[in-house]
Amino acid sequence: MLWETFNVVRDLPRLHEITSVLIRYGLGDMVRAVGIGNVLERAGRILHWKEPAEVAHEEPAVRVRRALEELGPTFVKLGQVLATRVDMFPPNWIAEFEKLQSEVPPVPFDTLLPELETALGCSPFDIFIELNPDAAAAASIAQVHYARLPGGEPVVLKIRRPGIRPKIEADLRILSHIAALIELEIPDSRRYRPSQIVDQFAKSLRRELDLAMEARNIDRFAAHFAADETVVVPKVYWEWTSEVMNVQERVDGIAGNNIAAAEAAGMDRKVLAARGADVVLKMILMDGYFHADPHPGNVFYLPGNRLALLDFGMVGRLSEARRNQIVDLLAAMSRKDDQALLDVLLEWVGDASVDEDKLANDVNELVANYEDVQLKDLRFSALLGELTAIVREHSLVLPADLTLLFKAFITLEGLGSQLDPEFHMVDHLGPFVRKVITDRYSPEGLQKRAKQHLKDLYSLVTGLPRDVARLLKEARRGRFKIELDLKRLDHFGHQLDRSTNRLTMGILTASLVIGSSIVMTVRGGPTIFGLPLFGLVGFLLAFVNSIWIIFSIWRSEKE
């Protein structure tokens, strides 16, 4: 508790900055609703609640995006993550979040040197030749410099910006507190689990801060595509890779968004689109480990219609069970089977409260809208968009790995359509779905699932007597507990506890006044200024208690 209090006090200047920016962009109502303004006002940092007229005409989504840009790297990254939550935000909000870019001015190379020398044990100029101190690219977390190894191999040094970790950790602590306040003060927000979203975001961002983690991601993808000569994944030079810097093979090619240059170089746009789709679908459906941000800037086109994948800071992971659910969803869509589609959706939303009849009607209507659409004319991104719109309408929240997946699908189809106007995702989905289903019902697949079911059944049966015995033992000891997650009740309990404390202090203060008055009438004993010492001490304690009670009541009114 003491450490948490210290962190809150330490983060007050940053909290004041965040709140001020939100108010400046006309988001004062959100600050009031959450209650974070009260914390600053009690700390003596009075906020100017007047909202400027220059942003009044802008849409809320635009104002939020501009505020996130001004708040710096943590909030820009948060906005980029929210851009994947197509289940929570309507398209206009997603479009604004997608505009958030991590590009920032690079820091001078001399500023990077101290951390680099610590990580390498010597100056980078002693290891790399032709090291260019001018950054080739710069983002909010790291920047890129070109160099060569002593053997002449061209490499890329991806170097973390100095001093960024403490800033991001402070922002993450504040976001965690804000998420908890949102859940406490805005009951309707609990269905979206803001604390869980912040926790997942914090884990993802901390992984991105560790540049050695990105290097491990690169090696894993390289292993998955080792047998595919059409896909290039940069080599990692582990000898010089650490948390603050990774060293990768430099890949020169045509940027994924420069389609005209690819065509001028004699590359086949249809082949590039097809190979890109196959690469991403293999990651998702076969490997369960996929590039979560396959936008054109992270793809290079190489001679021979090859593809190079770059920037593996954000990756998605899918369990085998989740991959099977994805296949079931895709199969249901292709068969236009509304009941199978509904079953997958209900499995995803878990224990969330949902009107199943209304959800079934909406799914049935969605499928009916595509009844006459030929498979070759089906736009997969549009279908996913309508599906997530249904999820939003029912106030349901998809698991985080699925939102990344949906975003990757939508981005992939957009990139494929740019390369090839006749590109259709479903043409490439079919073979992968059939392979997964064939593997699922092959003798090896059936044997594997049977073994897993037997193992689960054995664990359940053998563990049941122990669990029942433990339950009965706890009941006999009177320690049988049922936990309820009632945050409002917990808040009420805190308020009741504070009120009881004030009442107790009030009774104690009254007792001190009465006792001290009696002591003042008694002759004898030590005196000061001719008055009984113990009586004066009692009155002094009563005075201090009175001040504390008055301040406590005033503070509770402000809350």
pLDDT of residue 5: 42
- Residue 538 pLDDT greater than 80, yes or no: no
- Provide the 8-state DSSP code for 51: P
Q: Which two tokens stand for residue 250?
A: 């430099």
Q: Which two tokens stand for residue 58?
A: 């802008």
Q: Are residues 206 and 151 in the same domain?
A: yes
Q: Cα 44–46–52 angle (5° rounding)?
A: 165
Q: Are residues 296 and 205 in the same domain?
A: no
Q: Are residues 413 and 517 in the same domain?
A: no
Count CB atoms within 10 A of the CB of residue 161: 22
pLDDT of residue 3: 40
- Residue 145 pLDDT greater than 80, yes or no: yes
Q: Kindly state whether residue 241 falls inside one of the protein's structural domains.
A: yes
pLDDT in tens, 207-227: 888 999 999 999 999 999 999
Q: Are residues 183 and 133 in the same domain?
A: yes
Residue 43: pLDDT band with limits 50, 70, 90: very low
Q: Kindly state whether residue 40 falls inside one of the protein's structural domains.
A: no
pLDDT of residue 1: 39
Top-confidence residue, 450 or 145: 145
395: Cα separation from own chain's centroid? 19
pLDDT of residue 232: 93
Task: Measure the CA–CA gap between 199 and 299, rounded to whole angstroms.
Answer: 29
pLDDT of residue 220: 93
Q: Are residues 215 and 151 in the same domain?
A: yes
Q: Are 143 and 161 in contact (CB under 8 A)?
A: yes
Task: Measure the CA–CA gap between 438 and 246, rounded to whole angstroms.
Answer: 40
The three-state secondary structure class of 132 is coil
pLDDT in tens, 110-129: 999 998 998 888 999 999 99
Alpha helices (H) in 27-87, listed in sequence order: 28-34, 36-42, 60-71, 73-82
Top-confidence residue, 57 or 155: 155
pLDDT in tens, 325-361: 888 887 777 777 888 888 888 888 776 677 888 888 9
Q: Kindly state whether residue 28 falls inside one of the protein's structural domains.
A: no
- Integer-rounded Cα Rg, in Å, for the chain is 31
Q: Is 266 left (phi over 0), alpha (psi -120 to 50) or beta?
A: left
> 388: domain range?
256-441
Q: Are residues 213 and 324 in the same domain?
A: no
Nearest to 312 by CA among 403, 184, 199, 224: 224
Q: Using CA atoms in the order 77, 79, 81, 85, what is the torsion angle rounded to 10 degrees?
A: 180
pLDDT of residue 554: 59
Q: Provide DSSP, 407-472.
A: HHHHHHHHHHHHH-TT--HHHHHHHHHHHHHHHHTSHHHHHHHHHHHHHHHHHHHHHHHHHHHHHH
Q: Are residues 281 and 240 in the same domain?
A: no
Look-up: residue for tokens 């086109």? 301
Q: Are residues 553 and 426 in the same domain?
A: no
pLDDT in tens, 14-37: 777 777 777 777 776 666 665 555
Q: Are residues 396 and 326 in the same domain?
A: yes
Mean pLDDT, the chain, as a whole number?
78
Q: Cα 171–89–164 angle (5° rounding)?
A: 20
Q: Are residues 267 and 363 in the same domain?
A: yes
Q: Kindly state whether residue 513 falls inside one of the protein's structural domains.
A: yes
Residue 318: pLDDT band with limits 50, 70, 90: confident
**What is the count of structural domains for the chain?**
3
Q: Are residues 375 and 500 in the same domain?
A: no
Task: Examine the fold and report which residue of 383, 409, 441 is the final residue of a domain before the chain moves on.
Answer: 441
- Residue 490 pLDDT greater than 60, yes or no: no
Q: Which two tokens stand for residue 318?
A: 């899918």
Report strand pairing: 306-309 vs 231-232.
parallel
Task: Examine the fold and report which residue of 233, 250, 267 is the final residue of a domain before the chain moves on.
Answer: 250
Q: Are residues 309 and 433 in the same domain?
A: yes
Q: Kindly state whether residue 172 falls inside one of the protein's structural domains.
A: yes
From first CA to last CA, the distance across the chain in angstroms is: 20
